[in-house]
Amino acid sequence: MPQVIAVTSEKGGVGKSTLSVHLAGAFAERGLSAVLIDEDGRVGSAIRWDRRGPSLPFPVLEPHDIKPKKLREADVVVIDTEGRPKRKELRTLGERADIILVPSSVSPLELEATAELMAFLHEDPQTRRRTRVVVNRVPPTGRAGEVAREDLREGGVNVCNTLVRSYAAYVRAAELGVLCRDVPDPRAALAWADIVTLSRELL
Ligand SMILES: Nc1ncnc2c1ncn2[C@@H]1O[C@H](COP(=O)(O)OP(=O)(O)OP(=O)(O)O)[C@@H](O)[C@H]1O
Ligand SMILES: [Mg+2]
């Protein structure tokens, strides 16, 4: 059975789709068979990302085109979800996923929303063990990322060591429908390195 990583958040626009697409890309580059499921029917940004570009190195599926047998053959399934999930949906996600990954920037508003979501996800001990925050859009200079990570940890939250920094290459990658490693940008390799490091920390 594949390892299932569901990416979710309390707030919208925190980088769920960006991280989902790139993590699936990093797993594929590492030789794993990766599948990305776009469960954000409302926006469908992973699906649109895939359609904009030449071709991503993994399939992007909508829930209705999933073939259970095919899915079982994958090594890793990444699920990009809609922001602000209902509590009931979160419970189901907690049961289906091996890892619940919650991106959060260092902004106080986002950290507050993340803390609220953590309070809910920590109610169930099994879900708590599966939940990880990843600090995303970290300013490449200064220590804001480290500070946010340590603050979250002090609050009892399981936080990834990897800080995903803020780079224009991610925005450009979405526009071009490719991975940031394929964007002509002097910092594209730095952006890609953050993702590969994160992927190794997760799996
Ligand atoms: N590490 C990053 N550095 C720079 N920009 C980023 C980074 N991560 C995400 N972004 C940008 O932030 C914006 C929101 O990202 P994204 O669409 O991935 O968020 P989302 O959580 O999926 O949003 P929604 O809730 O609408 O589905 C996009 O413009 C994206 O390019
Ligand atoms: Mg999204």
> Is the separation of the CB atoms in 35 and 74 below 8 Å?
yes
Strands (E), the chain: 3-7, 34-38, 60-61, 76-80, 99-104, 131-135
Domain positions in the chain are 3-194
- pLDDT at res. 31: 98
Residue nearest to atom 23 of ligand 1 (CA): 13
CATH class of 3-194: alpha beta
User: Per-10-residue mean pLDDT for the chain, 203 residues long?
Assistant: 96 96 98 96 88 96 92 97 89 93 97 96 96 98 98 98 98 98 98 98 98
pLDDT value, residue 85: 87
> What span, in angstroms and rounded, lies between the C-alpha atoms of 33 and 49?
19
Give, using CA atoms, the residue closest to atom 26 of ligand 1.
Answer: 13
Distances (CA, A) of 126 to 100, 160, 187, 199: 11, 18, 38, 22
Q: How far is the CA of 137 from the centre of ligand 1 (A)?
A: 9
Which ligand sits nearest to residue 192's alpha carbon? 1
Residues with CB under 6 A from ligand 1: 9, 12-18, 40, 43, 45, 83, 136-137, 164, 166-167, 170-171, 174
* pLDDT confidence of residue 140: 98
Residues with CB under 5 A from ligand 2 (ion): 16-17, 45
pTM: 0.98
User: What pLDDT does residue 41 have?
Assistant: 81
